[in-house]
Structure 1
Amino acid sequence: MMNTSPSTKTVLVTGCTPGGIGYELCKSFQLRGCTVIATARRPEVLEELAGSGMIVLPLDVTDSKSISACKKQVQEVTGGRLDILVNNAGVSHTIPAADIDIDDVRKTFETNVFGLMAMTQSFLDLLIAAKGLVVNMSSLASITPYVYGSVFCATKGAINSYSRTLRQEVKPFGVRVMVVMTGFVKTTSGTKVYRELPKNSIYKVVEDAYLRKLRYSENTSKLSAQEFSFQLVERILEGSGWFWPLWGPRNDWVWLGGSASLARWATWIGEWVLDTVLYRKFGLDVLEKRLRQRGLT
């Protein structure tokens, strides 16, 4: 395993499955001259990245032993420093709130929230040594009523709240925290789970709308993971800087991806805008109509 040069930035990215954002982030960081540490539960899927000169390590963010082993290897190759930690590993979770399986929900939180927290805690001393940057991948779902995505929305909302406080706690040590409000991005990683409605689901009357929602992002996204990652890496590496005295570092919150600007604008106007638009977009007005037709309301 090669050692890194102290003159180049070292970047560790979690969740680098081919076809996903993490995979493309690794490529974009390397194009900008960074030393990239790509991680995945099964490192054999990262052979292409390894062949291009990246450091490839096994990592399961839900396993404390795996995190410890990964950190030990990172310390060895970087000399105990890490410039950028990108907490990208995450899973989708689409199912009505009335139909959730709590054990399934816990698994999603383990990856999306607890894994992110565990990685940040474990690697914080390396980030402090480099006065580095933590990049937490959130989503527009964290601030929108993304119908049938209550679990996923909750995990991303938790990331936002965690990051706000983390930013304050690590600032005295010279570490920055960035939250990426990710919009719609076209990915082809093949890791998404498509959950079926239970036979007794109260949403069976609009199952057609639910099935469309399962593939909504991949069918409507126009921005590729490659282009998204290229733009995001540009933002990550351009520095903090100040363009308005009352706002904080310009890169604390990055809104990027399909509908990102629209969602940000809508939050300024009021929550009722998103409530109204998404209620109709995902067919809840149709649900009302069908329930009335069946005499169920």
Structure 2
Amino acid sequence: MAAQRPKYALITGCGQGGIGEALALEFLRRNIHPIATVLPTESSEHLSSAGITWFPLDVSSEESVIAMRKSVGELTGGKGLDVLFNNAGICYTMPAIDTDVPSVQRMFDVNLFGPMRMVHHFHDLLIRAEGTVVNMGSIGGIVPYVYGASYNASKAALAHWTNTLRVEMEPFGVKVLLIISGKVSTNILRNDHGRALPEGSYYAPLASEFKDHIHRTPEGATDRHTFATKAVAQALRTSPPTWFWTGSWATFIWALDTFFPRKVFDYMFWRMFGLAKLKEAHQASMRAKKD
């Protein structure tokens, strides 16, 4: 009997302390050979010390993705890739009316176009293995989370792209799974530290609250290793679900999105983000201008 070929899982965005690192460790625990990636500027010591194969990768760079495809092809002997887990992502927190478009374009280049590049260049290896593509979505792509309009849009776009990818890849035996992630204990928010409202913003009355939000530590967030255990289990199923909701708040948001009118989110976030204070400040400002 011929020996069974090794199985490989490629995970993007495996910086120290993040979900990607936890995913790589979980694949390793399940005897799947993880291929982790970190930005060329990031440390890889946490991966090397765990015995995890890693490569530098910037998913926003076509040249970097092409080089990664060559490296993975050589590592696997060109026989196939069993899982492509598009985890790399960054955030951008700002009121929609204060959006800095170049910053958002950079985010979309990672959150949306990054998975597109990866699938484009790795689809042949996935087809050879009849593997699985996993894209990291978010409850932000479902709900109007305040200050997250641009991030939410990137995840909503990814969700719809993933839906069509799933249908189109089925003839080739490739499975496609979207993870709808709730709150998870990770370090993605560090990208926003130091961000402030622009001068003259209509949201200035909430400047203090915005600063606290930028530097928050999410309460009740799911442990990243617990999250990884559940996500990897779904990725390795013979017939995974189309969407898998997991992480803190995920089930709650699913229930509201499924059984309630969308206006319920407006009421929820109005209270959560103190928008009544903003309305009162705006009305007071308008009255003062009239006097």
TM-score normalised by the chain length of structure 1: 0.90
* C-alpha separation in 1, matches of 2:108 and 2:188: 20
What is the CA distance between 1:200 and its match in structure 2? 0.9
Answer yes or no: is the 8 Å Cα contact 1:10–1:36 preserved in 2: yes
1:157 aligns with 2:156: yes
Q: For 2:77 and 2:273, how far apart are their aligned partners in 1?
A: 50
Q: How does 1:26-41 map to 2 (within 5 A)?
A: 26-41=24-39
Aligned match of 1:260: 250
Q: Deviations over 1:6-53 (max 9, x none)?
A: 533210000101111111110111111110000011376222322332
Counterpart position of 1:59: 57
Structure 1 CA distance, aligned partners of 2:42 and 2:198? Answer: 36
Q: Do the aligned partners of residues 120 and 6 (structure 1) sit closer, same or farther apart at CA in structure 2, a change above 3 Å counting?
A: farther
| 8 A contact 1:213–1:282 mirrored in 2 | no
**Hey, what does 2:274 align to over in structure 1?**
283
CA distance in structure 2 between the partners assigned to 1:65 and 1:188 by the alignment? 27
The equivalent of 2:213 in structure 1 is 213
Task: Tell me the distance in 1 between the aligned counterparts of 2:100 and 2:55.
Answer: 32
User: What residue in structure 2 maps to residue 235 of structure 1?
Assistant: 234
Query: Partner of 1:60: helix, strand, or coil?
Result: coil
CA distance in 1, matches of 2:116, 2:104: 17
SS at match of 1:198: coil
Secondary structure of 2:125 counterpart:
helix
After superposition, the Cα gap between the structure-2 partners of 1:183 and 1:192, relative to the gap in structure 1 and judged at 3 Å, is same
Q: CA RMSD in A?
A: 1.8
Deviations 1:144-179 (A, max 9, x none): 001011110010001011001111111100011100
Question: What secondary structure sits across from 1:86 in the alignment?
Answer: strand
- CA displacement at 1:221 relative to structure 2: 3.6
Structure 2: how far apart are the matches of 1:284 and 1:153? 19
Aligned to 1:75: 73
Which residue does the alignment assign to 2:87?
88
Q: Deviations over 1:60-88 (max 9, x none)?
A: 10111111111101011112210000000
Residue 106 in 1 paired to residue 96 in 2? Answer: no
Shift of 1:289: 2.0
Whole-Å separation in 2 of the counterparts to 1:35 and 1:129: 17
What amino acid maps onto 1:24 in structure 2?
A
Which of 280, 283, 287 is the aligned partner of 1:292? 283
CA deviations over 1:203-251 (Å, ceiling 9, x no partner): 00111222232244x33243121221122112222331xxxxxxxxx52
Cα distance between partner residues in 2 of 1:9 and 1:236:
13
Using the TM superposition, give the Cα deviation of residue 284 of structure 1 relative to its aligned residue in structure 2, in angstroms: 1.3
Task: Please give the secondary structure, in 2, of the residue aligned with 1:129.
Answer: helix
Task: After superposing the two structures, state which structure 1 stretch, 203-212 or 83-92, moved more.
Answer: 203-212
Aligned position for 1:244: none
Q: Structure 2 vs 1, CA of residues 213 and 48 (structure 1 numbering), >3 Å: closer, same or farther?
A: closer
2:208 is matched by which residue type in structure 1? D
Count of matched residue positions in the alignment of Structure 1 and Structure 2:
283
3-state SS, counterpart of residue 45 of structure 1: coil
Change (3 A) 1:173 1:62: same
- Residue 20 of structure 1 is matched in structure 2 by 18
Distance 1:191 1:79 in 2: 38
- Letter matched to residue 254 of structure 2: R
Alignment of 1:114-129 (within 5 A): 114-129=113-128
- State the alpha-carbon separation in 2 of the partners of residues 273 and 131 from structure 1: 41
Q: 1:279 deviation in Å? A: 1.7
Q: Residues 296 and 227 of structure 1: is their aligned pair in 2 closer, same or farther, counting only changes over 3 Å?
A: farther
Unaligned runs of 5+ in 2: none
Q: Cα distance, 1:103 vs. partner?
A: 1.1
Q: Which runs of 5+ in 1 are unaligned?
A: 241-249
Letter matched to residue 140 of structure 1: I
* Distance across 2 between alignment mates of 1:44 and 1:106: 22
User: Runs of at least 4 residues of structure 1 off by over 4 A?
Assistant: none
Q: Which amino acid aligns with 1:230?
A: T
| Secondary structure of the structure 2 residue equivalent to 1:294 | helix
Residue identity in the other structure for 2:22: E
CA distance in 1, matches of 2:10, 2:72: 9
Q: What residue in structure 1 maps to residue 169 of structure 2?
A: 170
User: With structure 2 as the length reference, what TM-score do the two structures score?
Assistant: 0.92
